[in-house]
Amino acid sequence: MKQRFDAIVVGGGLSGCVSALAFAKRGARVLCLERGGYIGAKNSSGGVLYGDLLKKLIPGAEIRFPFERKIVRHEIFLSSKKSLLSFNYKPLGKLTSICGYSVLRVKFDGWLGQQAEKSGAKVLTEALVDDIIWKNGRAVGVKVRRPQGEAFADLIILADGVNSLLSKKAGLRGDFQPQQMMVAVKEIIKLPEEVIEARFNLKRDEGAACLMIGDTTQGIEGAGFLYTNRKSLSLGLACHMNALIREKVKINELIERFKQIEWISEFIKGGTLKEYSAHLIPAVGYNKRPRMTTSGIIVVGDAAGLTLNNGFIVRGMDFAIASGMAAAETGMEALNKGDYSCKTLMAYEKRLKASFVLKDLKTFRKVKNVMKNRAIYAAYPGLLGDVFANIFTVTGKPKKRTLRVLWDKLHQYKMSSNFIRFCFRLVRSI
């Protein structure tokens, strides 16, 4: 396999497939190496794809790409052992597609890989990349775990996921710390589409995305999630790794309890488990993100730590697509110049800074620390539930003003000063 290409993409996830596709559309000779048996085999993450970036890359993508449902409603649930609060956002009129699309990554990534191949990219599966080949301080190829497994290129795109060993070998990052990672587990639960639509009050093609905070994680820093697919539900938990370590809790045990919560079990009643998966989510933030370029290398997607939690939704797929496109644009400039130095490839980060990717990461950079407050998960849902119980429960006795009830509850739980500080920090961060 000692062949030469203009660019080699390591990883067949979203950012990798987009990079390969964008290179191929520009006439470059590009090789995409995927360690799984097929594109999508190792991509267990997924949920909601936000934005319309695919339209820029693939004409008519909105009609053609294999989404499950258009998300027309976002719901947030705050739960304790004795109360459940919920609120939702639903755009009206012609804006019903702005909330994104639910996707299943095996289908979606496989389709993107096919688009890259149709455009001229060479895709090789069951190709695990063990190392980078260097010459005179510049990356010039990769070592693949196959017979005669060396491939050479002027540019290497690292799209090998959140725990990218290659970017570590290239000196672009150190070891990730537990506080910089989330652990997510997801189950795909099969249900008839008419049941999903009736259960979630949806029309055909419409979908809902749900976030659950509080008792769903036993008060541990993290959240539950649910996305409606065409004929299944994506149900799972995502928790901060350091919180799981601190509490000595296994996330597989946590999700079993999660599914037994009465109001959660109603969502999945009658369903059949079809798939179980687990993966890591980068939570490094804006200030601690790893280096994204060196001589002959660009890092994209999760490998570059490009995931955002703004306190209400976790975004990663649109960041992966945007970074893959930016890598191809920068790579083509380098190919045309014949210059693959750090200085030339720094244009990649400049592109991300000019786009929503690094701007959003910077805007919401303080949210990460605010959301580490365990009271958000262990105390505040129950506290707010008590306040609303006072509003909606009539006992025949005189009522206190609602803010008075809230203040009394805060004093009862000895949380008044912490709650005020939290509200102040939250307002400043979002």
Nearest-CA neighbor of 155 among 279, 314, 333?
333
In a domain, 24, yes or no: yes
Task: Supply the DSSP symbol for 290.
Answer: P
Which of 282, 298, 330 terminates a domain? The answer is 282
Mean pLDDT computed over 266-289: 91
Amino acid at 387: V
Mean pLDDT computed over 271-295: 91
In a domain, 51, yes or no: yes
Residue 155 exposure: Cα atoms within 13 Å on the Cβ side: 33
Instruction: Please tell me whether residues 132 and 268 are part of one structural domain.
Output: no
Residue 262 DSSP SS3: helix
pLDDT at residue 371, as a whole number: 84
Model confidence at 135: pLDDT above 90:
yes
pLDDT at residue 159, as a whole number: 96
Instruction: Please tell me whether residues 149 and 50 are part of one structural domain.
Output: yes
Mean pLDDT computed over 357-377: 89
Mean pLDDT computed over 207-213: 95
146 pLDDT tier (thresholds 50, 70, 90): confident
pLDDT at residue 45, as a whole number: 62
Which of 282, 311, 334 terminates a domain? The answer is 282
Instruction: Please tell me whether residues 275 and 387 are part of one structural domain.
Output: no
2 pLDDT tier (thresholds 50, 70, 90): low
Written as six digits, the tokens of 385 are: 């539930």
Mean pLDDT computed over 204-227: 94
pLDDT at residue 405, as a whole number: 81
Instruction: Please tell me whether residues 263 and 376 are part of one structural domain.
Output: no
For residues 320 and 93, which has the higher predicted lDDT (pLDDT)? 320
pLDDT by residue (tens digit) across 32-42? 999 999 898 87
What average pLDDT does the structure give for the chain? 90
Instruction: Please tell me whether residues 256 and 213 are part of one structural domain.
Output: yes
In a domain, 89, yes or no: no
In a domain, 80, yes or no: no
CATH number of residue 249's parent domain: 3.30.9.10
Mean pLDDT computed over 44-65: 77
CATH number of residue 23's parent domain: 3.50.50.60
Which of 364, 382, 410 terminates a domain? The answer is 364
In a domain, 83, yes or no: no
In a domain, 94, yes or no: no
44 pLDDT tier (thresholds 50, 70, 90): low
Percentage of residues in the chain having pLDDT higher than 90:
66
Instruction: Please tell me whether residues 242 and 316 are part of one structural domain.
Output: no
Report the number of distinct structural domains present in the chain: 3
pLDDT at residue 61, as a whole number: 60
Q: Which of 25-39, 138-152, 226-240, 389-403 has the lowest mean pLDDT?
A: 389-403
pLDDT at residue 94, as a whole number: 65
Residues spanned by the domain of 243: 179-282
In a domain, 84, yes or no: no
Instruction: Please tell me whether residues 32 and 133 are part of one structural domain.
Output: yes
Instruction: Please tell me whether residues 185 and 130 are part of one structural domain.
Output: no
pLDDT at residue 175, as a whole number: 85
287 pLDDT tier (thresholds 50, 70, 90): confident
Cα separation, 428 vs 430, whole angstroms = 6
Task: Output the CA–CA distances (angstroms, integers) from residue 273 to 7, 104, 226, in the order listed.
Answer: 40, 15, 14
Cα separation, 128 vs 48, whole angstroms = 28
Instruction: Please tell me whether residues 117 and 36 are part of one structural domain.
Output: yes
Instruction: Please tell me whether residues 212 and 253 are part of one structural domain.
Output: yes
pLDDT by residue (tens digit) across 77-110? 999 999 999 999 988 876 545 688 999 999 999 9
pLDDT at residue 413, as a whole number: 72
pLDDT at residue 172, as a whole number: 94
299 pLDDT tier (thresholds 50, 70, 90): very high
In a domain, 275, yes or no: yes
Model confidence at 133: pLDDT above 90:
yes
Instruction: Please tell me whether residues 300 and 328 are part of one structural domain.
Output: yes
Instruction: Please tell me whether residues 10 and 34 are part of one structural domain.
Output: yes
In angstroms, how far is the first alpha carbon of the chain from the final one? 50
Cα separation, 153 vs 155, whole angstroms = 5
Nearest-CA neighbor of 314 among 414, 378, 222, 218?
222
